[in-house]
Amino acid sequence: MRENYRDRAVVIRTYDFGEADRVIVLLTRDHGLVRAVAKGVRRAKSRFGSRLQLFVNLDVQLYVGKNLATISQADTVDYFGARLIEDYERYTAACAVLESAERLAFADVAHDPYLYESVTATLEQLQTADPTMALDAFLLQAMAHAGWAPSLFNCAQCNRPGPHHAFHPAVGGAACHECRPPGAAEVDPETLHHLWLLAHNHPTNPTNAQKQEGHRLARAHLQWHMERNVSALQVMEQ
């Protein structure tokens, strides 16, 4: 008898498979990133209906397979999409959360539930919160959990107390004038303070310039550590 299990899961990505099936990439609470086949889901009379789509939090039953699991049951726990798909900025921020989570999940060998819980909480926040700030808080906290937190006050190289005016992902974040590497961004120290507040779940009220600069720094730090671009983050910059 094939091994099966139930888990909570967020739909991260989908793609067509065969004539009527679809592969659903799931970020699960207890089993990490799982790729599973939903058989017959593209047929009009599919028993899964519209449940297996982006921004849905599911209770799923999965059968373990050699390469892909199989979804045998899926029940909706939360649907976050209604508010997101009608607002372009919220939608692109939510897509960036999902894409970043998929990349970060590859580093999560212990199948820690943190990432699943953080994604669902952020999708909930994106219903009403400032989308750029909700996204940046997610990225900063997820990077800290992965061990990639940028230094936002002390110099990342020599630990000299800030505030500092330079930032570069290659040195770990903020840099003093002596440790500043070539190509470091010149930044407003208040932008770094804004990011520190987001990283620690404190309220923050940045200017629009500080918010946008902070987003660029958080994005650059994430993509430097991942060694690849997150396409949804690129879209947000356009």
d(CA 21, CA 24): 10
Q: Quick count: other Cβ atoms within 10 Å of Cβ 159?
A: 10
d(CA 228, CA 238): 18
**Domains, the chain, ranges and CATH?**
4-79 (2.40.50.140), 82-236 (1.20.1440.120)
pLDDT tens for the chain, 238 residues: list them.
458 889 999 999 998 888 888 899 999 999 999 999 988 777 767 766 678 889 999 999 999 888 899 998 999 999 999 889 999 999 999 999 999 999 888 766 667 899 999 999 999 999 999 999 999 999 999 999 988 899 999 999 999 998 999 999 999 999 999 999 999 999 999 999 999 999 999 999 999 999 999 999 999 999 998 877 777 776 666 5
d(CA 57, CA 195): 28
Q: What share of the chain is helix, strand, coil (3-state, %, to 5)?
A: 35, 25, 40
Contacts 24+ apart (CB under 8 A), 109-116: 109/32, 111/28, 111/30, 111/31, 111/32, 112/145, 113/29, 113/30, 114/145, 115/27, 115/142, 115/145, 116/8, 116/9, 116/10, 116/27, 116/28, 116/29
